[in-house]
Structure 1
Amino acid sequence: MVINAFSSGTFPRPKVGSPRREADAGSPDEARGVGWQIWTLAAVLCFMYMLVGLRTQERMLSNSFDLGIFDQAVRSYAHGRLPVSELNGPDSPVLGDHFSPILALLAPFYLVWPTAKTLLVAQAALVALSVVPLARWARRSLGQPAALVIGAAYGLSWGVASAIGFDFHEVAFAAPLLAFSLSALGQGRMRAAALWSLPLLLVKEDLGMAVCVIGLLIARRGARRTGFVTAGIGAGAALLTVLVIIPSFNTTGSYTHWFGIDAVGRGGGLLGLLDHATLGLVTPLDKATTLLFCLAPVLFLAVRSPLALVAVPTFLWRFASNYSPDWGTRYHYSLVVMTVFFAAFIDALIKRRPSAASLRRHLVGVGGVALLLLPNFPMWQLFQPATWRDDIRIGTARAVMRLIPDGATVQASTYLVPQLSNRTTVSLFGWYASRPNPQWILVDTFVPANLRWPQTFPQERAALDAARAGGYTTVADTFGYVLLHRPG
């Protein structure tokens, strides 16, 4: 349909009018029942996401931080306990690190399939679901071809790909909630926008401020009572979780992530704080680069919509952080931003009332940028032959891991942790917070230097020698996998 529309020159003219009238009016596409094409697109994207996540896990390239942490948390919920993660410290409560009780929704699925792969499949489904409300909104106002192009561009965007390619994270729940909320807001359904936004408070503590912004936008569009109540709940919940709930679970009695967003390293004192809150938000260059990369997939048009303001709290905490990975384009940090910006892109495009030719140019641009950036991010793994080849060492690793009994305490290398987290009490070998004196130690000594964490090769070798000197015996030493056991 997309190809035919472009080639025949019959690209549908977008409908214009008030957001509420657009929301209520039926479209010719809806009358023809073509909504299945959007769901098909979402299903295809879901399948691609699952392939990336599951194949990464099967190749033993998933990480202790964070797939292992979330696997341990959901495992706790599945067994009727408050979530703990051995990776953060012995019996460390996860709610003392981040407030993400929405993870409990995955517990029933984990009981059926108790493995980290459950989380990867759930993430694929949640992120793919976020395509549906955005594409349906675009279809109602811009036509079916536009819906499919925008949906595909969002689903293949680098921010989504980076999240899918790096383990599992709680923000997978945020993507569909934001998509449904902002789509409703853009179409004038204020109460629906508010109701879809409120569960974000259970996803992560920083999203309370995103809910606050959504509430203010609702108020700005006329639903003042609904908007101000939503904004108040969002701001209040953010403060409650950061100042009360998380500290009550944290062994230090505080919200430890405050220490990542202070003025340390920028001179200290009032001048250091001022510098950190101004120039420090756009330097070093990585921060500005990330902002440009976030706007490029939507042709910078998102800035013309007030919906883009929902991303501001996320940018503020990321760029105020002293933790450099928060600034960049890797990992999962840009998933929320990508959802917000594509919603803002649709809103801005509708308000421009583009001609068919102008709409066609915008869609070619947004699709072209998505395809241009695709090879530089994890979705491209699907087209790489190496992704589908198994390392000959994987079979050895699985055989060695089978020597570790269920329920044992273990320290393991970061890439081995997610393979053991569903059946053992596993922590990270060489990590300062790991449980001391575990029953078993499993280390992959062949990990390349550029992928090693948290220890260098000399540090790892010294730690293994110290373990042997402390009474551990070597059970296996094959193909680089070293398994030690502590008798008694």
Structure 2
Amino acid sequence: MLPADRALPWALAAVFFALYTALSVRLHQRLLTTGYDLGIFEQAVRSYAHGRAPVSALKGPGFHLLGDHFSPVLASLAPVYRVFPSPITLLVAQAALLAVAVVPLSRWAYQAHGRTAALVTGIGYGASWGIASTVGFDFHEICFAVPLLAFSVTALGNERWRAAAGWALPLLLVKEDLGLTVMVIGAYIAWQGSRRLGLATALAGLAGTLLEVLVIIPAFNPDHSYSHAGSFGGIESPGGILLGLLHLPMDLITPQTKVITLVLLLAPTAFMALRSPLILLALPTLCWRFLSAYPPYWGTSYHYSAILMPVVFGAFVHSLNRWAPDGSTQDRRTLRTGLAISSAMTVLLIAGFPLSALADPVTWQTPPRVAAAHRVMDNIPDDATVAASNRLVPQLTHRCTVTLFGFPNIPLTADWIIVDAKYPMGFPMSAQAQSDALDQARLDGYRAVAQDDGFLLLHRSTPGAQAGGSGRSSVSR
């Protein structure tokens, strides 16, 4: 492997890191990130950075995030966040983690089939819709799982069983459902390689998920339960489990959204990933998503498919080894055809997902309203308590205690309210409901402090409080 070729995987990773960072940071700068979810994760990391438990006011007063999902891996961002306290720190970290997964996949492809295969695999993964959708929507803890899976899948494909298990086990610290993926990785190792190591890994994965879901998360949850079990309507009861098993085949392919997701998942590999048993690693994630009663899990939006991308492209490289084992003319022709189809599908799918926004001039233009929003937010002092619109939340979480204005069942106790009254997002309430809530806030003693291009700031004085953090408190039209 020539020095230039050894650098190729890292060069691809660097390119995608730059693209991911540019997209996510521009979205944040244009007020297109949200409190749900970037604000929540920043509150957790900010707490860790100051030596506190990961509490998120956005989830509720004193809500401990380990009672929602088991993601202690977020604490690893605390040292960097302490130096650079900004939501952009989380976005850049996510970009780096997602990009580094290019390295093992493209390196494996190069070693197996040369430079073209490395480029097709690296670019295919890097531009894949699952990764693009993740970058295009805030920050999520799942970004830690993506490189771990990429290295683990690559080790599996090269029959390095201890390395595969070593990369997989930290997934238990990323999110509670990933223990099931660790279990399947262990089963694969037991099937194809070391039985003892595989069974131990599988047992650790299953035990980890059960411990997190049944013990750890309920211990931190205010209701002493695993709240996400409700997404799998009725499955927690014996009757629900039996009924679920009877409906299982149809539930996995209906409604049509699930079939579309499966097709789009395999299309970038020219469906060749199906020839590798490594594709089995995708089953735990696909099953819990498709059996859920929560429709967003079924589709291609948000971050839900991120961990499937290294699995699918790892299976793709593995399938190339199986499809072209002896280097005959026919095998080389088959290999070239598969790589060409994969490249074509990658290019075709880019247009439908967030990375395509980088080619849109609008992405690089900052609307005047953004400056107006910051002028209004400048009136809020550091360390204040604020109830804000969803898209304004992550602009404030690095310096204030922020809740989501109008979120059900969370009392309004903040000293400050800031909303986008001109273009309400519609979450967590409709435009009319937001208007009604503002009227009620005024009745409860909040008074307008600043207004600019539809951004409205209200303040309610408390004993000893001082209005205005920058000395520019004024009502402007």
Q: Does 1:159 align with 2:130?
A: yes
For 2:58, what is the secondary structure of its paired residue? helix
- TM-score w.r.t. the length of structure 2 is 0.93
Name the residue aligned to 2:213.
242
Give, in whole Å, the separation in 2 of the partners of 1:481 and 1:50.
28
State the 1:269 CA deviation.
Answer: 5.5
> Residue in 1 aligned with 2:469?
none
Residue of structure 2 equivalent to 1:4: none
Matched, 1:127 2:83: no
- For 1:352 and 1:270, the matched residues in 2 are separated by 40
Match of 1:136 in 2: 107
- On the 8 A contact 2:267/2:345 being kept in 1, the answer is yes
SS in 2 for 1:335: coil
Counterpart of 1:99 in 2: which secondary structure? coil
Are the equivalent residues in 2 in contact too, given 1:306–1:344 (CA < 8 A)?
Answer: yes
User: Is 1:446 paired with 2:446?
Assistant: no
User: Superposition pairs for residues 48-447 of structure 1, below 5 Å?
Assistant: 48-263=19-234, 272-353=243-324, 355-447=331-423
What do you get for the CA RMSD once the two structures are aligned?
A: 1.4
Distance 1:485 1:276 in 2: 53
Cα deviation 1:414-472 (Å, max 9, x = unaligned): 00000001111101111014342210000001226xx4211111111000000001111
Secondary structure of the residue that 2:387 maps to in structure 1?
Answer: strand
* CA deviations over 1:191-248 (Å, ceiling 9, x no partner): 0000010110000000000000001111111211111111110110010000000000
Structure 1 residue 273: Cα displacement: 3.2
Aligned-residue offset at 1:356: 2.3
Show the counterpart of 2:475.
none
TM-superposition CA deviations, 1:285-308 (whole Å, max 9, x none)? 111111111111111111211111
Q: Which moved more, 1:270-279 or 1:63-72?
A: 270-279
Q: How many angstroms apart in 2 are the aligned matches of 1:311 and 1:435?
A: 41
Counterpart of 1:279, as a letter, is M
1:200 & 1:301 partners in 2: Cα distance? 26
CA distance in 2, matches of 1:320, 1:132: 33
Deviation of 1:95 after TM superposition, in Å, equals: 0.4
Deviation at 1:280, TM superposition (A): 2.0
Calculate the TM-score normalised by the size of structure 1: 0.91
SS of the residue corresponding to residue 19 of structure 2 reads helix
Q: Deviations over 1:28-55 (max 9, x none)?
A: xx25552112211110000000001000
Q: Which amino acid in 2 is paired with 1:146?
A: A
Q: Which of 6, 10, 14 is the aligned partner of 1:39?
A: 10
Aligned partner of 1:56: which letter?
A: L
Q: Is the CA contact 2:110–2:118 (under 8 Å) kept in the aligned structure 1? A: yes
Matched letter for residue 428 of structure 1: L
* 2:429 paired with 1:458: no
- 3-state secondary structure, aligned to 1:411: strand
With over 3 angstroms needed to count, the CA separation of the structure-2 counterparts of 1:110 and 1:32, relative to structure 1, is: closer
Q: In the TM superposition, what whole-angstrom CA distance separates every residue of 1:133-163 from its partner, at most 9, and x where no partner exists?
A: 0011111111122101210111001111001
1:487 aligns with 2:458: no
Cα pair 1:410 1:439 within 8 Å, conserved: yes
User: Does the Cα contact within 8 Å between 2:26 and 2:363 map onto a contact in 1?
Assistant: yes
Mapping 1:10-49, distance limit 5 Å: 30-32=1-3, 34-49=5-20
In the TM superposition, what is the alpha-carbon distance from 1:272 to its structure 2 partner?
A: 4.5
Contact map agreement 2:324 2:332 (CA 8 A) in 1: no
The amino acid of 1:432's aligned partner reads P
The CA deviation at 1:330 is 0.5
Q: 2:265 and 2:67 mapped to 1: Cα distance? A: 30
| Equivalent residue pairs, number | 454
Shift of 1:185: 0.9
Alignment match, 1:8: none
Q: CA deviation at 1:477?
A: 2.0
Q: Corresponding residue for 2:441?
A: 467
Amino acid at match of 1:106: L
Q: Distance in 2 between matches of 1:320 and 1:244?
A: 23
Query: How many percent of aligned residue pairs carry the same amino acid?
Result: 51
Distance 2:320 2:409 in 1: 50
Work out the CA distance in 1 between the residues paired with 2:6 and 2:240: 57
Q: Contact (CA 8 Å) 2:148, 2:167: kept in 1 or not?
A: yes
Q: CA, structure 1 residues 270+353, in 2 after alignment: closer, same or farther (shift >3 Å)? A: closer
SS of corresponding position for 1:447: coil
Structure 1 270/118 Cα, relative in aligned 2: closer, same or farther at 3 Å? closer
- Corresponding residue SS for 1:87: coil
Q: Kindly tell me: are residues 275 and 102 of structure 1, through their superposed partners in 2, closer, same or farther at Cα, counting changes over 3 Å?
A: same
Q: Which letter does structure 1 place at the counterpart of 2:81?
A: Y
Which of 474, 478, 485 aligns to 2:452? It is 478
Task: State the alpha-carbon separation in 2 of the partners of residues 228 and 184 from structure 1.
Answer: 17
Native 8 Å contact 2:39 2:394 kept in 1? yes
Look up the equivalent residue of 1:379 and give its one-letter code. Answer: L
Is this contact kept in 2: 1:443–1:483, CA < 8 A?
A: yes
Cα distance in 1 for residues equivalent to 2:457 and 2:357: 31
Distance 2:455 2:119 in 1: 47
Contact 1:302 1:341 in 2 (8 A): yes
Deviation at 1:274, TM superposition (A): 4.0
Higher alpha-carbon deviation: 427-436 or 251-260: 427-436
Alpha-carbon distance in 2 for matches of 1:394, 1:358: 52
2:50 and 2:30 mapped to 1: Cα distance?
28
Cα distance between partner residues in 1 of 2:386 and 2:247? 41
